[in-house]
Amino acid sequence: MEIFHIGAECYPVAKVGGLADVIGALPKYQNNTENTVRVVIPCYETTFRFQNDFECVHWGKLKLGTFNFPFSVLKEKTNKLGFELYLIEIPELFNRPDIYNYRDDIERFVAFQIASLDWIIGRNSIPDIIHCHDHHTGLIPFMSKYCPKYVKLKNVPTVITIHNSLYQGVFTFNKLYYLPEFDLIHIKELEWGNCINSLATAIKCADEVTTVSPTYLNEINYSGNGLETLYQRVRNKSKGILNGIDLDIWNPENDSMIAANYSIATFSEGKQQNKKKLCLQFGMNPTKPLFSFIGRLYNEKGADLLPKVVTSAFTTFKEEINILILGYGETEIENKLTQLLSTHKGNYNIYIGYDEELAHRTYASSDFILIPSRMEPCGLNQMYALRYGTIPIVRRTGGLKDTIIDFEDDGNGICHDQASVEDVCDSIERAVDLYKDKEQIDKLRIKGMNTNHSWKNVSQEYLELYNLITTKKYESQ
């Protein structure tokens, strides 16, 4: 099969969150003698772009309504990521350091989708599957189906994977002219809430809708950011497939980013060595349990609870514990968390920003990872934590619910139900008790390290899905 994955991020080329980890790993596991997998993302001004060799495989001009943008398609020469990587270079729109949050994001990502399809139809072969990720590629299932310009792709099955239903790529109908011509009879397919909604469009037009965990699929049927009734309508072409993690990159035995490598046999000493170094950097005492949070500081991640959680936990435990926060996001949360530095010096620290290496070192060093998410379509942090012998403390939602079971129910972590300061603090209290019971905590760490969340099986599940929708599509023609 010839499979195209199209999305906005791909690790290690361009990363904001878990979307990048998925697009950087799943294709690698699908690429084999039977399948050729190609990943297409925009060309941002990132270090990967400048430190690797690319060749230009296509050159063209895309039309976004009345605007014309020259673009080129750059292929990474050595397939070093384990698949063919293509960057769509539209200098006027993407030669910028950040991935999102520009005023013209709609123009940028609509143009990216048009350029991708322009290039794909100009190639010699037609893909067997186009797999789109999130709203940034949500118009592709529509355009490939209904725009005469892309008639060659009309019968190519498309999949939309929803990594986060909160972001939908919504814009008003006065920008309809951005899209290549199509018969207006199909205009309803673009519409949700009187606007063009890219995610809703993909959900309507794709042959299959997947979410990144089974529980998230159930949740969005009643809490789906305004798309509930649509999710209910497409239930028979929807599937929840739990993400995997890249075991090559996330492996404490050979991770070159951490201070000391360790295995199941040596984790006790290995983790302590890592912890010593990290605690030294952040001015903390490595003999105390270390609780960390790694992620974007947004309400959806429950980060707004953190300032009160920190205050309350130190009121209860005084100087018995350490808390470290890595992330960036909403200024108000950043400020509140930074202000706490003066009060809890020596037991608390925060790094505002995103640093992949520091994240690896923190997984290796921490005793517990706090994941208090209000919503979590899948969540990869808990899987990384398990792999590094670190115990996840999670709110039961989405993929967290599918992967973490409370240790008192013979599980692998600590769970609570509400996104509240009280619930998170109760879990911290249980964690402090657990930390004192070395035998039990070590058992849990080993259990976590033995868990296999490899992409291997998951990628197979996607391949089976591709086969299924291909057969269905073929039969219906």
The contact set with ligand GLC (CB under 6 A) reads: 17-19, 22, 163-164, 212, 243, 376-380, 399
Closest contact distance (angstroms) between CB of 373 and ligand GLC is 8
CB 6 within 8 A of CB 132: yes
| Nearest approach, Cβ of residue 122 and ligand GLC (Å) | 31
Q: Between residues 16 and 176, which has the closer beta carbon with respect to ligand GLC?
A: 16
Coil, helix or strand at residue 199: helix
3-state secondary structure (DSSP) of residue 113: helix
Shortest Å distance, C-beta 217 to ligand GLC:
13
Least gap, CB of 458 to ligand GLC (angstroms): 11
Residue holding tokens 């197979």? 460
Please state the length of the chain: 477
Residue 161 C-beta: closest distance to ligand GLC, Å: 8
**Exposed / middle / buried, residue 455 (Cβ in 10 Å: 0-12, 13-18, 19+):** buried
Of all residues in the shown chain, the one whose CB is closest to ligand GLC is 18
Residues 6+ apart with CB under 8 A from 57: 73, 74, 75, 86
In the bound state with ligand GLC, the residue whose beta carbon lies nearer, of 313 and 380, is: 380
Shorter beta-carbon distance to ligand GLC: residue 243 or 362: 243
Please name the residue that has the structure tokens 């890592």: 274
Return the number of the residue (164 or 197) whose C-beta is nearest ligand GLC. 164
Query: Shortest Cβ distance from residue 365 to ligand GLC (Å)?
Result: 22
What's the rounded Cα separation, in Å, for the pair 164 and 212?
Answer: 9
Alpha-carbon distance of 108 to 139, in angstroms, equals 13
Q: 468 burial class (0-12, 13-18, 19+ CB within 10 angstroms)? A: middle
List, in order, residues 6 or more apart from 185 with CB less than 8 Å away: none
Decide whether 163 or 288 has the Cβ nearer to ligand GLC: 163
Residue type, 202: A
